[in-house]
């Protein structure tokens, strides 16, 4: 009887020994042994990486110098595709997960991105979509943020991805920074089909409020706007015989041109004069720069209340001396735009 039992044990040992030589079986045996001893429960998810698809169409891990998006001036509701890679040690990262995305704007003023600080265009959260089968206990989820509007402030924005394993009800939450690139764009006149027509002007007196047209900030930063202008000259036949340029650079002493957002030419009311010689930039209204729009239609600026300092009418006021030849006078006006956020306006940026 003892001999029988001994043979039985030898057979068992041989079977186990041979099976240990096979890697798959060996792993399975050890795995079973570990689970058996430690009673490991269902682990929660770990959000490992967040990517966005940048302007070039590349998926870029954030944060990164190329982790950016850029608005198209004047365009609302552009998409920002987002992807998250989630790891689950138990290997049950699957479509049963609950994955939520939040995007937080720069002007929120907090570097904590969560549901409370989300861009309020997002109803509650962006629901993730399961996109790939699990590989090595990892899976990918995506969502698209469809509310990137031209007027929302440039700078560091945040994405929060929160994932819940429905098997154990535990959440993991990770946030990453991405760049909404700064775009400067002041449109004048707005809309683009308009023409600045100053029409007929008086001689020897002021002609006020001519060439009225709207200017609008279509970028995502406050901008300083200035104007340079050359003198006016006429190239028609009658003018060539008797050239009578209009010296708005101040050299004539009495001829002036100024630009403003109201209908008077008084310097005290803020009219910017092109009267320096040689021409210098006219830094003008408003003092703290042209604000960003605050709505899709730019019905208001970024600061609630008060006037709209992101979209308003500009007027020219001109005073031309007598003795000029009738005709079409031309010049060149240069509009110079630069950002003044956060740089102080007038600093040249």
Partner 1 sequence: MKFKRFCKFSFFVLLILLSFKSVVSVGVGDPIPTDLRVLRNNVGDFFFSIFAVDSSTGLTCTYSVTGIEPLSVTFDDPEVFVEAGGEKIVYGTINVPENAPIKSYSGIIKVTCEPKVEMGVTGSKIIQSTLGSFKLSVVEKLEEQPTLPVLPEEEEKTGIPTAAILVIIVVIVIILSVYFLYKRKKSTEPSRV
Which residues in the 137-176 window bind partner 1 by CB under 8 A?
Answer: 138, 140, 154
Residues near partner 1 (CB under 8 A), total: 92
What are the Cα distances from residue 246, in Å, to 55, 209, 314, 328? Answer: 47, 18, 21, 12
Query: Does 349 help bind partner 1 (rule: CB under 8 A)?
Result: yes
Which member of 2, 21, 38, 200 binds partner 1 (CB under 8 A)? 200
CA–CA distance, 21 with 36 (Å, rounded to integer):
22
Residues 231-290 that bind partner 1 (CB under 8 A): 232, 246
Residues 287-346 that bind partner 1 (CB under 8 A): 316, 320, 322-324, 326-339, 343
Q: Which is nearer to partner 1, 18 or 277 (CB)?
A: 18
Q: Which is nearer to partner 1, 42 or 334 (CB)?
A: 334
Residues 55-74 that bind partner 1 (CB under 8 A): 55, 59-61, 64-66, 68, 70, 72-74
Query: If 0-12 CB within 10 Å is exposed, 13-18 middle and 19+ buried, where does residue 32 land?
Result: exposed
Q: Which helix (H) or strand (E) holds 27?
A: helix 23-38
Stretch of residues binding partner 1 (CB under 8 A), selected from 47-55, 168-176, 291-299, 307-315: 47-55
User: What is the length of the chain?
Assistant: 349
Query: If 0-12 CB within 10 Å is exposed, 13-18 middle and 19+ buried, where does residue 104 land?
Result: buried
CB of 312 to partner 1, least distance (A): 16
CB of 102 to partner 1, least distance (A): 22
Q: Which of 323, 316, 314, 318 is nearest to 206 (CA)?
A: 318
CB of 337 to partner 1, least distance (A): 5
The distance between the two most distant Cα atoms of the chain, rounded to a whole number of Å, is: 137
CA–CA distance, 207 with 264 (Å, rounded to integer):
10
Q: Which is nearer to partner 1, 232 or 285 (CB)?
A: 232
Q: Which is nearer to partner 1, 164 or 324 (CB)?
A: 324
Q: Which is nearer to partner 1, 118 or 310 (CB)?
A: 310
Q: Strand 329-330 vs strand 233-234: parallel, antiparallel, or unpaired?
A: antiparallel
CB of 216 to partner 1, least distance (A): 9
Query: Does 27 help bind partner 1 (rule: CB under 8 A)?
Result: yes
Which member of 44, 81, 211, 270 binds partner 1 (CB under 8 A)? 211
Residues 76-135 that bind partner 1 (CB under 8 A): 85, 132-133, 135
What are the Cα distances from residue 219, in Å, to 149, 185, 216, 339? Answer: 10, 5, 9, 9
Q: For the chain, first and last CA: distance in Å? A: 98
Query: Does 191 help bind partner 1 (rule: CB under 8 A)?
Result: yes
Query: Does 209 help bind partner 1 (rule: CB under 8 A)?
Result: no
């Amino acid at each position: 009887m003892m001999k029988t039992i001994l043979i039985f044990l030898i057979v068992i040992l041989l079977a186990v020994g041979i099976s240990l030589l096979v890697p798959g079986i060996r792993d399975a045996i050890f795995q079973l042994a570990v689970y058996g001893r430690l009673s490991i429960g269902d682990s929660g998810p770990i959000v490992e990486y967040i990517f966005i698809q940048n302007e070039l169409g590349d998926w870029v891990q954030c944060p990164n110098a190329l982790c950016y998006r850029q608005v198209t001036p004047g365009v609302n509701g552009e998409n920002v595709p987002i992807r998250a890679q989630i790891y689950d040690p138990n290997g049950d990262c699957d479509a049963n997960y609950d994955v939520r995305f939040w995007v937080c704007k720069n002007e929120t003023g907090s570097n904590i991105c969560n549901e409370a600080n989300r861009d309020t265009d997002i109803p509650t959260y962006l629901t993730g979509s399961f996109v790939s089968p699990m590989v090595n206990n990892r899976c990918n989820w995506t969502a698209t943020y469809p509310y990137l509007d031209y007027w929302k402030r440039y700078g560091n924005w945040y994405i929060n991805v929160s994932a819940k394993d429905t098997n154990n009800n535990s959440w993991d939450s990770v946030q990453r920074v991405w760049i909404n690139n700064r775009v400067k764009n002041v449109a004048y006149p707005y809309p683009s089909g308009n023409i600045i027509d100053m029409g007929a002007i008086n001689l020897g007196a002021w002609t006020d409020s001519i060439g009225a047209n709207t200017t609008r900030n279509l970028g995502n930063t406050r901008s300083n706007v200035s104007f340079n202008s050359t003198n006016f000259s006429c190239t028609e036949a009658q003018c060539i015989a008797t050239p009578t340029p209009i010296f708005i650079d101040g050299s004539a002493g009495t001829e002036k041109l100024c630009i403003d957002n109201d209908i008077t030419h008084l310097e005290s009311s803020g009219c910017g004069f092109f009267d320096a010689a040689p021409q210098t930039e006219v830094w003008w209204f408003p003092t703290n720069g042209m604000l960003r729009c605050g709505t899709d239609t730019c019905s208001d600026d970024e600061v609630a209340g008060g006037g709209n300092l992101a979209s308003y009418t500009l007027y020219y006021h001109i005073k031309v001396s007598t003795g000029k030849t009738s005709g079409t006078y031309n010049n060149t006006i240069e509009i110079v735009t630069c950002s003044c956020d956060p740089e102080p306006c007038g600093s040249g940026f």
